[in-house]
Chains A and B, each alone.
Chain A
Amino acid sequence: MTAPVLEVDGLSKQFTVNSGLVSRLFGNTQEVTAVRDVSFEVGRGETLALVGESGAGKSTVGNIITRVHEPSSGTVRYRGEDLHSLTGEELMEYRQSVQMVFQDPYSSLDPRYKVGSTVAEPLKIHTELSKDERQERVAELLETVNLDPAFANRFPHELSGGQLQRVSIATALSVDPDFIILDEPVSALDVSVQAQILNLLMRLQRERDLSYLFISHDLSVVKHLSDRVAVMYLGEIVERGETAGLFEAPVHPYTEGLLASVPQANPDDHRRGQRLTGEVPSPIDPPSGCPFHPRCDYATDECTEMNPALEDVFAGRDAACHNWEEVGGEAGARPDAVTVAEESPESED
């Protein structure tokens, strides 16, 4: 991996719930930890996927990186600079360099703005371009995302979901960013449109050497698009590694269960491994020890008492599990065993 563009180190975020006046007067406020000690790096031209179920803290991480939220502790470095020390000019530069695309294009675009004005908005803020130059640039951008430049004069309600998502991407690209946070960018789209947007994202990354932080719960899309994956559960990263290896042989029981739960678009391909039972516990009152232990088939006494740290379990893979060596059955998941696992998918027993 090249030198990281973004380094996230020990990031934690607590929110206060019941923070109304009455609760505060009576001391009934509670803390909920949305993100706990999360660390990762994203290199130039690389895609890191953050995956996990709702409430895992994926979007909170994205929001901290865009400075929507302040972290409770930990640091975010962008090209070596601590994000939360940036002010004035430097902060403007950061906001130009890091862009975001959200899940729902219907709500992320202003319905009263014509598409052209939306795409031109960042140009107004970050560049000195004249009105005509901006219009020219908007036309170019719309072409980049395979839209007819005439769409600049339309309102969002005249466009389909896929077209709107292209507009969101064009807006993000308008100021030549190096880093884009994609928060569930294709979740609201139909299959055939999803393919168009994924192709567009892959092409833009190749052409512009963009780095992506790809936040998604859709594992088949993640598998297709990302170089590395970090799996989150209840605010923590539980496993992290190269995409192909992690999908082939997960070593954290949660990753294993998550992968086994994904419906495969192939009736002959039976899911392997143990599926997840139960539900994600409330983050207000998380379980003791390892947060996953109440749902885990591999749990031992140790798991109920001590939360395992995220550790390097073998080259290129980190996992936070006391019993990672047991996961995936006899074949295990060490690199030397991967080929065995490939040949006998039913290596469960």
Chain B
Amino acid sequence: MSSEPRLSLQDLEVTYTTKHDEVTAVDGVSVDIQSDEIFGVVGESGCGKSTLANTILRLLDDNGEITGGEIRYNGRDLAEMSEKGLSRTVRGREISMVFQDPNTSLDPVYTIGQQLTETIRQHLDVSKQEARERAVQSLDDVGIPSPADRLDDYPHQFSGGMRQRVVIAIALSCNPSLLIADEPTTGLDVSIQAQILDLLKDINENRDTSVVLITHDLGVVAEICDRVGVMYAGNLVEVSPVGVIYNDPKHPYTQDLLKSIPETHDIKEELTVIKGSPPDLRSPPSGCRYHPRCSKVCSEACETGEMPRVYHEGESSVRCYIYDAAENPEYEATTNGTDEQSGEQSQQTKRGEQ
């Protein structure tokens, strides 16, 4: 946490307007992405994780709008930047994105060489020849065999896994400092998935590129992420180092989610289920949005109060009243640890009161 974060989201709020309703798909999300990490965002469908990813580069649908907060990147607020400036200097240049389905990310009527050089020449002042060389290098970097020969091939001449490598090559062609990957391995076979994950890890380690990985797969997160943010109904309910997420999850939702996967059970044992289903965001529940499904409702505030603020608990940030000494009388008892810890707590409480 010592160095300046690469990307900092502050109290970000995104609202979609439909004919009848307004839906706040991302609600008060604050998180710092560090310069050397792979940050995973997990959650179930409709929790707002893809909206969050699209918001960073302002790729929202027409009916979506940033209604609050900041996207701090390199001393600028991307939420306030002009569309033109964003396209010219940020999108595809400093921050690039990889989407789930490589078939729709690539244009079927252009060769991959054309698609690569287009991106390169858009952002870098290089000749056609240089762009081509860079394109070959990019393909080589992502492990495409004999890249020079494949430059003039069309997307359909590549397999699914190779196509996703091409998409990653395009994303990396201008050496971005942040790569956002939205479900990059969903729909690929496990063996290909493992290869793509290795590639992302390799990129992160060798290129000074931070990665934000959006996924629903808890296994993928465990595999390559350093820190993980868990989203539920538009809220980022927990941010923790990956080890904490799996060994000592803080938020009841994270705990319940992990308990519902087969890996944490004996063979044929009944799986623990989370009761109910995610809320309809057109009319989200009062209090904490997870309280109707939560097994650990601890105070009245859970049901009727505000969405809990962020509490800092060790290396984690959690939005749950369990960690509020005022709301949860049992709180001290459960974490009555070292002096250092309680010192930090009082500090946090003070900060919260400000």
The reply to whether A263 and B197 form a contact with Cβ atoms under 8 Å apart is yes
Name the distance in Å between A266's Cβ and chain B's nearest Cβ: 6
Q: CB-CB < 8 A to B243: which residues of A?
A: 267-268
Instruction: Report whether A224 and B262 are in contact in the complex, using a CB–CB cutoff of 8 Å.
Output: yes
Taking the nearest CB of chain A, how far is it from the CB of B22, in angstroms? 22
Cross-chain contact B267 with A224 (CB below 8 angstroms): yes
Alpha-carbon gap, A223 to B261, bound state (A): 12
How far, in angstroms, from A263 to B45 measured CA to CA in the complex?
Answer: 20
Q: How far is the CA of A224 from the CA of B265 in the complex (A)?
A: 8
Minimum CB–CB distance from B282 to chain A (whole Å) comes to 15
The distance in angstroms between the C-alpha atoms of A263 and B146, with both chains bound, is 29
A198 → B minimal CB distance (Å): 6
Q: Is the CB of B159 within 8 A of A279?
A: yes
CB neighbours (8 Å) of A276 from chain B are: 191, 194
Task: List A contacts of B242 (CB < 8 A).
Answer: 267
Contacts of A190 in B (CB 8 A): 44-45, 216
B270 is an interface residue with CB less than 8 A from chain A? yes
Binds A, one of B29-37, B101-109, B203-211, B271-279: B271-279
Is the Cβ of A279 less than 8 Å from the Cβ of B192? yes
Q: Are B189 and A192 in contact (CB under 8 A)?
A: no
Which label, helix, strand, loop or mixed, suits the secondary structure of the B interface? helix
Interface residues in A227-266 (C-beta closer than 8 Å to B): 243-244, 257-258, 260-266
Number of interface residues of A (CB under 8 A): 41
* Residues on the B chain within 8 Å of A244, using CB: 267
A317 interface contact, C-beta 8 A: no
A161 to B264 Cα, complex, angstroms = 24
Residue of B nearest to A225 (CB): B268
A220-B219, A265-B218 are known contacts. Are A191 and B191 too (CB-CB below 8 A)? no
Chain A residues engaging chain B, CB cutoff 8 angstroms: 53-54, 160-162, 190-196, 198-199, 202-203, 217, 219-221, 223-225, 243-244, 257-258, 260-268, 275-277, 279-280
Contact residues in B for A161 (Cβ distance below 8 Å): 45
The answer to whether the Cβ of B77 comes within 8 Å of any Cβ in the partner chain is no
Known contacts being A162-B277, A266-B246, A267-B222, is A199 close to B216, with CB within 8 Å? no
A307 to B214, CA, bound (A): 42
- Contacting pair B191 A220 (CB below 8 A): no
A111–B191 alpha-carbon span in the complex (Å): 35
- Nearest first, the 10 A-B pairs at minimum CB distance are A263-B219, A276-B191, A224-B262, A195-B260, A53-B189, A261-B194, A190-B44, A195-B271, A263-B223, A192-B274
Closest to A190 in B: B44
Chain A residues, CB < 8 A from B191: 53, 257-258, 261, 275-276, 279
Per the 8 Å Cβ criterion, residues 159-218 of B in contact with A are: 159, 161-162, 189-195, 197, 216-218
CB distance from B231 to the nearest CB of A (A): 12
Contact residues in B for A277 (Cβ distance below 8 Å) = 195
Instruction: Write the chain A residue with the least CB distance to B192.
Output: A279
Please classify how large the interface on chain B is, using the bins under 10, 10 to 19, 20 to 34, 35 or more.
35 or more
B262 touches A223 (CB 8 A): yes
Cβ-defined partner of B273 (8 Å) among A196, A202, A275: A196
Confirm or deny: B257 has a beta carbon within 8 angstroms of a beta carbon on chain A.
Answer: yes
Nearest A residue to B262 via CB reads A224
Inter-subunit contact B270/A219 (CB<8 Å)? no
Name the residue of chain B whose CB is nearest to the CB of A270.
Answer: B223
Q: How far is the CA of A225 from the CA of B261 in the complex (A)?
A: 12
What's the minimum C-beta distance from A58 to chain B, rounded to whole angstroms? 12
Supplied contacts A192-B256, A195-B260, 15 more A-B pairs, CB within 8 Å: A191-B260, A198-B271, A202-B268, A221-B262, A261-B191, A261-B193, A263-B220, A263-B223, A264-B219, A264-B222, A264-B223, A265-B261, A268-B247, A276-B191, A279-B191
Contacts of B257 in A (CB 8 A): 191-192
Q: How far is the CB of A292 from chain B (nearest CB, A)?
A: 12
Which partner residue on chain B sits nearest A54 by CB separation?
B189
Task: State A203–B216 Cα separation when bound (angstroms).
Answer: 26
Interface residue? B263 (CB, 8 A)? yes
Q: Taking each of B243, B261, B262, which has the highest tally of chain A beta carbons within 10 Å of its own beta carbon? A: B262
Q: Is the beta-carbon distance between B246 and A199 smaller than 8 angstroms?
A: no
| Minimum Cβ distance to chain B for residue A191 (Å) | 6
Residue B301 at the chain A interface, CB threshold 8 Å: no
Name the CB-closest residue of A to B263: A265
Interface residue? B258 (CB, 8 A): yes
By a CB distance below 8 angstroms, the chain B residues around A279 are: 159, 161-162, 191-192
From A160, A199, A266, A267, give the contact of B271 (CB < 8 A).
Answer: A199
Whole-angstrom CA separation of A47 from B274 in the bound complex: 25
The one of A191, A243, A258, A262 in contact with B44, judged by C-beta atoms closer than 8 angstroms, is: A191
Residue of A nearest to B272 (CB): A195
Of all chain A residues, which has the CB nearest B260? A195
What are 16 contact pairs spanning A and B, CB under 8 A?
A190-B216, A191-B260, A192-B277, A217-B190, A219-B190, A220-B263, A223-B262, A224-B269, A262-B190, A263-B217, A263-B219, A263-B220, A265-B222, A267-B243, A276-B191, A279-B159
Nearest CB of A to B143, in Å = 10
**Which residues in B have their C-beta under 8 angstroms from that of A265?**
218-219, 221-222, 246, 258, 261, 263-264
Q: Which A residues are CB-close (under 8 A) to B216?
A: 190-191
Min CB gap A346→B, angstroms: 18
Considering only CB atoms, which chain B residue lies closest to A55 in the complex?
B189
Q: Which residues of A contact B218 (CB under 8 A)?
A: 191, 265
Bound state CA distance, A220 and B274, in angstroms? 19
The chain A residue sitting closest to B161, CB to CB, is A279
Cα distance A243–B262 in the bound complex, in angstroms: 14
A198 to B256, CA, bound (A): 16
Give B47's nearest chain A residue, CB to CB. Answer: A190
| Chain A minimum-CB-distance residue to B42 | A191
- CB-defined contacts of A195 to chain B, threshold 8 Å: 260-262, 271-274
Name which residue of chain B comes closest to A161, CB basis.
B45
